Amino acid sequence: MITEKRPELSADNPMRVGMINVKGTELRVAMRPGSESRPPLILLNGIGAKLEALNGFIDVLNPEIGVIIFDVPGVGGSPKPARPFRMPELAETMAELLNYLGYQQADVLGVSWGGALAQQFAYTCPSYCRRLILGATSPSSLTVPRNPMAMMTMMNPMRFMQKDYVANNAMKMYGGKLRNDPQAVGKLTDHLAVGVNSAGAIMYQMAALMGWTSLHFLHQLKQPTLIIHGKDDPIVAPANAQTIANRIPNSRLVLVDCGHLFILTLAAEIAVMVDDFLGAPA
C-alpha cells in the first residue's frame, strides 16, 4: 500500500512513512495505527512544515487515536506539483487519500495554514469529516494579525532560506511561552522546509490561500467543532477564532495561555483536550 520501504512498527518507532500516489499526486505520508473502534485523525500542518514537525504532539496523543499526516505537495518529501493547488483541490486530494487507505471517514485537526485546509475539507467533503478541530487559524486569507511586525517577520522569504531564521525570531513570530524560552519549541526548526526549492514550493501553499475564505460556508458546517487559540498569538489574533466560533453552529472555542505554536509548547495539555473532544458522545 505504501511504496517506500519503511521501518516496522515498534514502541520506539510507531509511525509508518512512505510515498503514496493519489491519482497522479505523489504524497509522503506517515501513519500510526490506532483502535479500530475510532476513526483516524488527519493532522494538517502550517506553511512550510514537514510532517515531522508534529512528532512531539503525536508522541503524547492517546495511542488509541490513529494518525494520518502528510507533506502537502511541494513540501518535505512530496514533490512539487506542476501548478499550485487550490484549497478545494487539496481537500479532494485528502478524500482520495482516505479512500486509498480504506477509510470512509476521519477526524481532522488543522493548525494555522492547515486549519484553513481543514475548514475547506469539512465543507467540500463533509461525509469524510466526522469531527473538526481548528487551531491558531483564520476564516480568510485576509488574516487579522495581532502584531503586523510578527506577520512581516513570518512572511520574510529568509524564513525559508536560512535554517536558523525561525529559532532567532521565534519570540517575535510566535509569542506565548517562546517569549521567555525560545527553545520551548523543541526541534521544530529541524522539520521546516528550507532552501531555494522549498521557498518556491511554499509559495504554492501561499497561492492556495490567495482570495480564499470560509466566511460564506462556515454556517453550513455540521461537524462538531473544537476551536483552540492562543491568547498571545501575534500572527493570528484571537478575534479570528471568535469569528469562526460565531459562525459554526456546533462549535466551542477554547483560549489557551500561549501563542501560535501551542500545539508544541503545550503538547500534553492539547493532546488531552483533543482526546476528550474526539471521544465524547456525539
Q: How far is CA 222 from the centre of its chain?
A: 20
Alpha carbon distance, N-terminus to C-terminus of the chain: 32
- Residue 253's DSSP bridge partners are 227
Distance CA 158, CA 167 (A): 12
Q: Which domains does the chain have, with CATH numbers?
A: 16-279 (3.40.50.1820)
Rounded to two decimals, what is the model's pTM?
0.87
Q: Classify residue 136 by its DSSP letter.
A: S
Sort strands 129-135 and 67-70 into parallel, antiparallel or unpaired.
unpaired
Tell me which amino acid residue 86 is: R
Per the annotation, the verdict on 251 as an active-site residue is no
Catalytic residue among 35, 37, 78, 112: 112
pLDDT along the chain (282 residues), means of 10: 40 77 94 94 92 93 96 90 92 97 97 97 98 97 62 56 59 68 62 56 81 96 98 92 97 95 94 97 80
Task: Report how far apart, in Å, the C-alpha atoms of 150 and of each of 15, 130, 155, 158, 179 are.
Answer: 34, 34, 9, 14, 12
